């Protein structure tokens, strides 16, 4: 499934809560999980409505509450973001992305060993 859904930084915090959950969550449960951000209930409701409109999550009425479930997985989202980064920032060159990570010393020795084992699998 190709995911070209644009998710803002705050919306991504909501998505992370939903991705970690093994069950649908109410807005109250989501609010509790992100309370460190100091967002009001109305702000969280706005983020949830936007994510539903974008097709990132679904909302299902259960009793008096709506319960939210992610439609896209964290893996799908990460994959689409990496593709977008390579296309838009590195002019389509995955090699330039990896070179940038090496140049910035963003990869640990452990990361490099894990990457080598991944490449050997191809």
pLDDT at 3: 58
1 pLDDT higher than 80: no
State how far the Cα of 21 lies from the Cα of 67, in Å rounded to an integer.
Answer: 12
User: Alpha helix locations (H) across 34-72?
Assistant: 41-54
> Across the beta sheet with 25-26, what order do the strands follow?
25-26, 65-70, 57-62
The confidence band for 112, taking pLDDT boundaries of 50, 70 and 90, is confident
4 pLDDT higher than 80: no
For 45-83, b/e burial (b = at least 16 CB within 10 A) is eebbebbeebebbeeeeeeeebbbebbbeeeebeebeee
Q: Which residues contact 119 (CB under 8 A, 6 or more apart)?
A: none
pLDDT at 101: 84
- Tokens linked to 47: 């983020």
pLDDT per residue over 90-100, tens digit each?
999 988 988 88
């Amino acid at each position: 499934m190709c995911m070209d859904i644009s998710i803002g930084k705050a919306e991504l915090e909501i998505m992370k809560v939903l991705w970690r959950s093994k069950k649908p969550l109410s807005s109250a449960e989501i609010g509790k999980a992100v309370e460190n951000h100091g967002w009001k209930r109305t702000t969280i409701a706005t983020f949830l409505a936007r994510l539903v409109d974008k097709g990132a999550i679904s909302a299902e009425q259960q009793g008096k509450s709506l319960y939210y479930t992610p439609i896209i997985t964290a893996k799908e989202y990460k994959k689409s973001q990496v593709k977008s980064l390579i296309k838009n920032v590195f002019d389509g060159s995955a090699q330039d992305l990896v070179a940038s990570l090496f140049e910035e010393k963003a990869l640990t020795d452990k990361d490099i060993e894990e990457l080598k084992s991944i490449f050997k699998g191809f």
